Structure 1
Amino acid sequence: MSEKVQKAPLISSGNTWAFVLITSLFFLWGLANNMTDTLLAAFKRIMSMSDFQTSWIQMAFYGSYFCLALPAAILIKKYSYKTGILLGLGLFILGSLLFYPASITMSYTHFLVALYVLAGGLSVLETAANPYIVAMGAEDSGTRRLNLAQAFNPIGSITGVLLSKVFILSRLNLSGAEERAAMSAEQLRNVQSEELTAVMGPYVGVAFFLIVLWVVVKLTDMPKGSDAGSKLDLGTAFRRLAMNPHYVWAVVAQFFYVGAQIGVWSFTIRYVMQELRLDEEGAVSYYMVALVLFMACRFVFTFLMRYISPRLLLLGTAVAACVCMLIVIYGSGQVGVWALVATSGCMSLMFPTIYGLGIRGLGQDTKIGGSGLVMAILGGAVLTAVQGQVSDAAQDVSTAFYVPLACFTVVAIYALTKGKPKTVSKKVHSKSTAALSDEPLKEVVQ
C-alpha cells in the first residue's frame, strides 16, 4: 500500500536564519543527553552502585522533562518561542553550574538535583524548538523538516560522548567495588573526589559556552510564533486533544520509543563490557559508532521521506529494531554488540517522525499538544528504571533488553494501525492553523 508523499518547500521564505539558529539548539541538548547516558557507567564504578541505583540519573533527567514541558508550552503560547528558548538556556546554564558544588559535597543526591535543573532547561528548549521548526514551512513538509533539524542532534550526542570519554571515563580509577570496599574511608574519599571533579569539568565548561549563546539569542531578531491575542483555555484544549485518538496514540508511542532509546543507549556500555570484556573507556568506542550511525541515518531518512511516507518508514524501522533486539538478547559477543549498534540506525527516524505525525492537524492546540509529546519523554525515566531492575534481577544485561523489545513493538503497532495522518481540508487548515501560518512567523520579536 502506497501513500502520497508531499514535496512542499522545506523552509518558508524569510525563515532560513531562524531555522539555522534553532537547529543549533538540537546539537546542544544532544550533547547533554548523551553525556548523561555515560554517567550511568561512571557512577556505577565511582559509588559501587547497582543498575537500578544508577537509573535514578535517568529518572531525574527525564522526570524533569515531564514536569517542565507543559509549563513551557503555556509560557510559549502566552509570549513567544524566543522567550521559551531564553528560559531553557538559562536553566541549562544553571544546572550545568550546579555540578561544581555537587562535586565538592560529593553527594549523589546533589548531582541528581543538578541534572534535574539542567534537564528542565532542555525540556523547555525542546518544547519550544520542535513545533517552531515544524511551523517554519508548509504542514505537509513539517515531519521532513523536523527530521532534518533533528539530524544535528546526534552530532551533539557524539560530541557529548567524546567529552565524556576524554574528560570523565578515562579518568576513572579502575578499582572495582570489592577493592573500593577494602579501602580506608580517607582513601576512598580521595579517589571519589578526583573522579567526581572529572565528572564536573565538562558540564561547567559547557555552561560558559551556553552563556555566550544566551547573549547571542537575546540580541538576535527572531520570527515570532506565539498565539498573540488568543485565549488560553487549557481545559478545552486538553479535552480536544484527549478526544483525538491519532494524537493520544502518538503520545503513547513516543513514551515507549523514548523508553527504548534511553534504555538502549544507557545499557550499551554495560552490554559491551559484558560481552567483549572491556572497561568503560574501551566500551564507549562502540557507543560512539552507534551514535555516528544514528546521525548518518537521520540524513538518509530525511532524504527518503521525499519518496516514502514517514509512517511507512517508521513501521519498517520499528520492525527492524525488534529483530535487532532479539539478536542482542539471544546472541553474544560481536554479533550481539553489532546488532545493538545497528539498533541506533533504526531509532534515528523515530522521535521526530512520531512527533511530526502526532501534531499534524492540531491547529491552535499545537503548542499544548507538542508539550504532551515532550512530556512523553518520561518513558526514558520509567522504562530505564524497569530495565535496570530486570538487569539486577537476572544478573545479565542481555535479559534487560526485553524492555526495549516490547517498546519497539508498541511503536510498530502505532505505525501500522494509528499513525496514518488524517487529511485536513484546506478550509479547516486555514482556520485551525492560523497560529502556525507563515504570517505570524514573519513578525519579529526583539
Structure 2
Amino acid sequence: MFSKILIANRGEIALRILRACRELGIKTVAVHSTADEDAMHVRLADEAVCIGPAASRDSYLNVAAILAAATITGAEAIHPGYGFLSENADFAETVEAHGLTFIGPTADHIRMMGDKITAKTTMEALGVPLVPGSDGELKSLEEARAVAEKVGYPVLIKATAGGGGRGMKVAQSASELEEAWSVARTEARTAFGNDAVYLEKYLDKPRHIELQILADNHGNVVHFGERDCSLQRRHQKLLEEAGSPVLSAEQRDAIGRTATDALAKMGYRNAGTLEFLYQDGQFCFIEMNTRLQVEHPVTEMVCDVDLVREQIRIAAGEELGYTQPDISFSGHAIECRINAEDPDTFAPCPGTVAVYHPPGGLGVRVDSALYTGYRVPPYYDSMIAKVIVHAPTRAQAIARMHRALDEFVVEGIKTVIPLHRRILADPEFQKGEYTIHWLEQFTSRPH
C-alpha cells in the first residue's frame, strides 16, 4: 500500500479522496492554485503545494508543476479525481514514466475510450450493443446524408473527442443535416482541436443509464449496478438515482454480464463507467468514462462500498477480494448536484458564502468543501456540493431528499436548490416518468 498520495484536483472530490486516504492510513499532498489557498482540502491535507495561478491551464492542468509537487513531497501515487487531467492519457503515461503510480486505468485504455469512434468499434467487437449509426468518422457531408437515410431521421452529429454536449447537433430532417454537420464540426474544432464527427440515430425518449465497474490487475471484474442519469440540462447531469426506476433486476444482471465480460476481455483495470441510452427495453452503448464519476456516491450508498478506497487498493496491486455474487443492492439512493447558479437562468453565481449549514440525519450525506466565509471562485466548475440520500424505497428517498434540501442553508450566493425542490415535487418525476429530454422541457415551464 502507498504511504503518500498526491491529489491532483480541487473542491469536493479532492476532499473525498483525502478522506479515503485518511481511513487507509495514507498521508496526502494537496495541490492548489492561488485562488484555492484557503480551500478545505488544502487545510486538511498533510502537505500542500501551490502549483500556479487561478486559471486551470496554469495550475490544475499544469503537468510539470504537478509532477514537481509529487517529487518534492515524496508522493508515490497520484489520484486525478474527475475532470481536469483524469482522462488525459498523456498525463497517465507521464506519471508512470516518472516512477509514480497513476490511480486509474492504463494510458492505452484511456486513449482507446477517449475517442468515441474507437470506443464504439471496440465495444461492438466485444459484443456490447450500439446505437445505429456510422461505422466511424464521417469524411464528407455526402457520406453523412447516406448514413442518415439508412438509419432514418432524426439523427445526431457528434464530435469524436470531448464531451459535455459540445460538438453535438440534432438534424430532424434532411433539410437540417447540412447545418448540423457544419455547426458540430465547428464546435468540435473550437473546443477540442479536432473536428472529426460521426452520426447516430437520435432516440426520442431514451433514458441515460450507466453501469459502474471495478477491475483489478488479476483479471477480476465486477459491476455495482446502474445509475439513472437522465435528468440533464444541455447534456450536463443535475440529479442521479441508483437504481433506475425503469430497470428490473434481470435487466441489470443482463447488461452487467455483457459489460463485465467485455472489460475482462479488454484487460481493463481500476474504475470505469459504461454509459448507455436505454429505450424500449434496449441498451445502446454511447461511451465509457475511464475515471471516477461525480455521481459515484449513489452507488456507494446502495452497495455499501467505498469506490475511492477500492481505486487505491487496485492501484496498489491488491485483488478485489470479492466476486459478482458478493455484490448486493439495498434500497434506493438519489443525488442532487448543488451548483452555484441562478436556479432560473443558470448563470454562475460565485461569491462569498455568508452562512453554510448542511443537512444531516439518517440516510443523508453531503459531499462538499464549502464552509461559512469561503469564497466560491469564478474560475472553475460551478458545482459546490452534492446531497445524497439513501432509503429503503424510492418514495422514501424522495421524501428524505425533500427534507434534506429544506434543511440545507447556503446564504450569500444563489444555488439551484429551489430547482431541485421543484423537480422532486413534480408528479412525473415522482412516478419515474422522465427521459433525457424531460428536464429541458421542465425548466421552460412557468412557475
TM norm structure 1: 0.29
Q: Which has the higher contact order (CA 8 A, sep 6+)?
A: 1
TM norm structure 2: 0.29
